[in-house]
Structure 1
């Protein structure tokens, strides 16, 4: 069974979250951010944090605007998407994720290594095709057999 995808993105600034999540309907969800180290750009330098609080809930339209209309530099990113008006749980493991209302987990480590878990198979296929079309490196499906991740967090 396909759980998600993993790939590498260029270690550079831009609107990479917007590019990665392009085929996913980000505005339809509530987004949990937590413990990231990612920065908005101010000129050619790092500015304030992209996600201001250690743990934050962002409404989907605001989240979409933030990731698509800004340039930023991602170092560590931990994002989780929940349907609106559903239970917003704190997920730490794959088992927590399966039991929760969370529909998508996106983790970025060391500015380049991306892992996405997605419960909807059609959305997962679109995310895979998007990553392939963008030319992201080392793209592969995460399956029951090759998933070695113990926690669904970046820390």
Structure 2
């Protein structure tokens, strides 16, 4: 069974998370912001954090605006999409499956992206988008090849 996808994005400034999530309507979700490190880029320099430390959740429209209308640099990112409602502390794939969370997006070391999705259509759209964007090493994550123990960027 397909759990999600993994691929590599360029290690550079840009709007890469916006590009990664482009095929889905991120505004219909509430997003839990996990531990991470990402910065807005101003005048080709790292500036304030993309996701402020005191904010653990963000609405989909606000996230879309952040990701599509700012230049930023991602070092680590941990985002979880929920239908409007409560958030859970998810650490394993099994907890993800049992939760209300619909999608988990992890970025590690600025370029390694992992996306878990409960929706098969969403997984296919994200896979197709990643290949069309020219991202490298695009693969499905399956029950057989998933080596991740924790669903966390840290």
TM-score (norm 2): 0.97
Decide which moves more: 34-43 or 3-12. Answer: 34-43
Query: The residue matched to 1:78 in structure 2 has which SS?
Result: strand
The equivalent of 2:90 in structure 1 is: 91
Change (3 A) 1:54 1:8: farther
The equivalent of 1:65 in structure 2 is: 65
Asked if 1:31 is matched to 2:31, the reply is: yes
Provide the C-alpha distance between the structure 2 equivalents of 1:55 and 1:34, rounded to a whole number of angstroms.
10
Query: The residue matched to 1:106 in structure 2 has which SS?
Result: strand
Provide the C-alpha distance between the structure 2 equivalents of 1:141 and 1:130, rounded to a whole number of angstroms.
13
Deviation at 1:90, TM superposition (A): 1.2
The equivalent of 1:80 in structure 2 is: 80
| Gaps in structure 2 of 5+ consecutive residues | none
The equivalent of 1:148 in structure 2 is: 147
The equivalent of 2:134 in structure 1 is: 135
Provide the C-alpha distance between the structure 1 equivalents of 2:126 and 2:73, rounded to a whole number of angstroms.
21
Would the aligned equivalents of 1:8 and 1:136 in 2 still touch at CA under 8 Å?
A: yes
Query: The residue matched to 1:81 in structure 2 has which SS?
Result: strand
Provide the C-alpha distance between the structure 2 equivalents of 1:46 and 1:34, rounded to a whole number of angstroms.
20
Provide the C-alpha distance between the structure 1 equivalents of 2:107 and 2:34, rounded to a whole number of angstroms.
12
Provide the C-alpha distance between the structure 2 equivalents of 1:56 and 1:46, rounded to a whole number of angstroms.
21
Runs of 4 or more off by more than 3 Å in structure 1? Answer: none
Would the aligned equivalents of 1:34 and 1:53 in 2 still touch at CA under 8 Å?
A: no
Asked if 1:51 is matched to 2:51, the reply is: yes
RMSD between superposed Cα atoms in Å: 0.9
| Gaps in structure 1 of 5+ consecutive residues | none
| Count of aligned pairs | 154
